[in-house]
């Protein structure tokens, strides 16, 4: 009986939306460099081309993945789940 009640409790939250963020990379820039941004500016990231990208759920790092193209949109194929 306790297992059934536990499953019902889990089902209550299964439709709660969570924010999923895919992070291609990061960098640090000075205020001066940021003020110089203009259309066409290239911002170099610390990750190398072809490295796995980070997948975050509500700001928590949960997976690594690779960029894929789905018709005309980008997507992410999860390649590794991060376990804490």
pLDDT given at position 5: 61
Tokens 């193209």 belong to residue: 69
Contact predicate 57/20, CB 8 Å:
yes
- Per-residue model confidence (pLDDT) at position 84: 75
Structure token digits, residue 34: 């940021």
Q: Specify the higher pLDDT residue, 3 or 72.
A: 72
What confidence tens digit (pLDDT) does each residue in 7-56 have? 777 888 899 999 999 999 999 999 999 999 999 999 999 988 889 999 99
Read off the pTM: 0.75
Q: Please tell me the predicted confidence (pLDDT) of residue 12.
A: 85
Any domain includes 48: yes
Query: The domain that contains 22 carries what CATH number?
Result: 2.30.330.10
Residue 9 lies in a domain: no
The total of structural domains in the chain comes to 1
Q: What is the DSSP string of 9-54?
A: HHHHHTT----EEEE-------HHHHHT--TT-----SSPTTSPEE
Check pLDDT > 60 for residue 2.
Answer: no
């Amino acid at each position: 009986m306790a297992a059934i009640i536990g499953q019902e409790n889990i089902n209550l939250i299964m439709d709660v939306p969570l924010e999923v963020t895919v992070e291609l990379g990061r960098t640090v820039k000075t205020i001066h460099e940021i003020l110089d941004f203009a259309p066409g500016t290239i911002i170099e990231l610390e990750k190398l081309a072809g490295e796995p990208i980070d997948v975050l759920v509500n700001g928590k790092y949960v997976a690594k993945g690779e960029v894929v193209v789905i018709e005309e949109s980008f997507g992410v194929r999860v390649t590794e789940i991060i376990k804490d």
